[in-house]
Structure 1
Amino acid sequence: MLEWYHYLLLITVGFAVGFINTVAGGGSLLSLPTLIFLGLPAPVANGTNRVAIVIQTALATAGFKSKGVSTYPFNLRLGIAAFLGSIVGATIAVDIDGETFNRILAIVMLAVVLIIIFKPKMRLEDMQERLTGKYLWVSLIVFFLFGIYGGFINAGLGFLMMFFMHYYNRMNLVRVNATKVAVVFIYMLSALAVFAFYDKVNWKLGFILAIGNGSGAWVASRFSVKKGDGFIKTFLVVVVILMAIKLWFGDQLMDWLCTNILNNKYCS
């Protein structure tokens, strides 16, 4: 039986997750453990988290649009490709050791950080967006693959989407984020439908989490437009490093927390 403060915790975590997901990515690495901590089985926590992400990305998209930032129809095309991929990802299980997968993802995240930090600035003529022709077709294939992973777990995918669109499609980070949230909204609808079909969604906790996610996303979308690329780049680097550390040392950190802080009360 959950207490009132558990719901407050869920909303607070949701706000942080919504902000992080909108400006960078990886917020599900916070919300999924929180849902499991509150007693949901991992598959149900995964499905429940999708409720909040759908509402989060809908409000983030509206927030960007209210500031005049939209990449339609490019975002719709990528969204449809990811939508198809997410159907595949949400209905299959990938047989890979969890610890190995987390460490691979941590290495990918750190590689993204190094590229962001040390890659020479693009010349003005190189910043011409590449959203049509062969660049569009390659993007559709890549986002179909992104959709498969997004339908399966989704955690950390925002980093890869941002990296790809910034350096391949040559979009500034504000427009990258506006595109990302619209794409995630589209493909997350199909993933949520699959989880709901298999009765793997706790709707009550999903909508409570969504209160926080949606609020954080709305604030982040408008704030990031005002602050621009510099703020997004700094925020992205910090979040990626923290998430990579969590992925690499997650089990050791949890063991230490259980032994020294929680006295094994919540670690059974």
Structure 2
Amino acid sequence: MSPLEALAIGLAGLAAGTINTVVGSGTLITFPTLLAFGVPPVTANVSNTIGLVPGSLSGVVGYRRELVGQRARMLRIGVASLIGGIVGGVLLLVLPADAFSAIVPVLVGLGIVLVLFQPRISAWTARRHEAAGAAPRNPTYGAWWVWPAVLLAGVYGGYFGAAQGVLLMGIMGVGIPETLQRLNGLKNVLAAIVNAVAGLLFAVVADVDWRIVALIGIGSVIGGQLGATVGRRLPAPVLRGVIVVVGAVALVVFLVS
């Protein structure tokens, strides 16, 4: 690996760490960069996943103020991400590449729609509950379907991970009565759990390029702090717009690749 390639991979890790903390989809920067330098796809994927773990943890630290009061929520929903990340990592190792990637555009598109229409969907759901005299959804854990939906997002994140944040924000934005900034902090925790458990699995049984892991890891830690600084200053409509734009770019990349 030349010094220029090492610099490019480190900068890609920094950009990915920043984007992952704000919304997700940082893998769309690092993964193509590694492929462009001739790294085999599976090696690139597993090395990238492990390398982004420190950046995910950096984003969690950066958003620690938004996580105050969410401990019970993190513990319960985090179990779904833990299980999903394990399943997704195993699928990457045992299934052919085309077996799961066909559904990726559908999942990303669904996440975009959920984020875009989240205010209207949430308001409609609240009015429907009022009209029917139904008990409101649990303000801590959200709607009943949030846990299994987060589990499925974890499966996807453990398998590949790009736009995992878009899916999580779409799911939680509709299913949990909470501000987008606090949900974004929770999203960083869930993504960190998925990346960590999948990365641990890959470190044990997969072909990992540890030079790549180190370069992406250093860059993503710096990017995680930058992303937290930028992300928490964005008003909810702007943050929603960023999520939709990044998700749309991810969708186009999947469709044309």
TM-score range relative to shorter protein: 0.7 to 0.9
Structure 1 segments, 4+ long, off by >6 Å, are 125-129
Find the aligned partners of 2:121 and 2:80 in 1 and give their Cα distance.
31
Match for residue 172 of structure 1 among 176, 179, 199: 179
AA aligned to 2:120 is K
Q: Deviations over 1:216-250 (max 9, x none)?
A: 11111122222332331121122122222222223
Find the aligned partners of 1:232 and 1:52 in 2 and give their Cα distance.
26
SS in structure 1 of the partner of residue 145 of structure 2: helix
AA aligned to 2:223 is G
Q: Please show how residues 214-253 of structure 1 align to structure 2 within 5 Å.
A: 214-250=221-257
Q: 1:45 Cα deviation (Å)?
A: 0.9
TM-score normalized by the length of structure 2: 0.83
Could you tell me which runs of 5 or more consecutive residues in structure 1 were left unpaired when the two chains were aligned.
Answer: 251-268
Partner of 1:202: 209
Q: 1:187 Cα deviation (Å)?
A: 2.5
AA aligned to 1:217 is G
Partner of 1:160: 167
Find the aligned partners of 1:68 and 1:122 in 2 and give their Cα distance.
23
Partner of 1:144: 151
Q: CA separation of 1:201/1:73 partners in 2, compared to 1, >3 Å: closer, same or farther?
A: farther
Equivalent residues of 1:19, 1:220 under 8 A apart: yes
Equivalent residues of 1:109, 1:241 under 8 A apart: no
Q: 1:106 Cα deviation (Å)?
A: 5.3
Find the aligned partners of 2:57 and 2:37 in 1 and give their Cα distance.
26
Q: Deviations over 1:79-117 (max 9, x none)?
A: 22211222122112445467744543454355346535x
Find the aligned partners of 2:180 and 2:198 in 1 and give their Cα distance.
26
- 2:24 matches 1:15: no
TM-score normalized by the length of structure 1: 0.80
Q: Deviations over 1:54-96 (max 9, x none)?
A: 101111111111x454322312322222112221221124454
Q: CA RMSD in A?
A: 2.7
Q: CA separation of 1:188/1:121 partners in 2, compared to 1, >3 Å: closer, same or farther?
A: closer
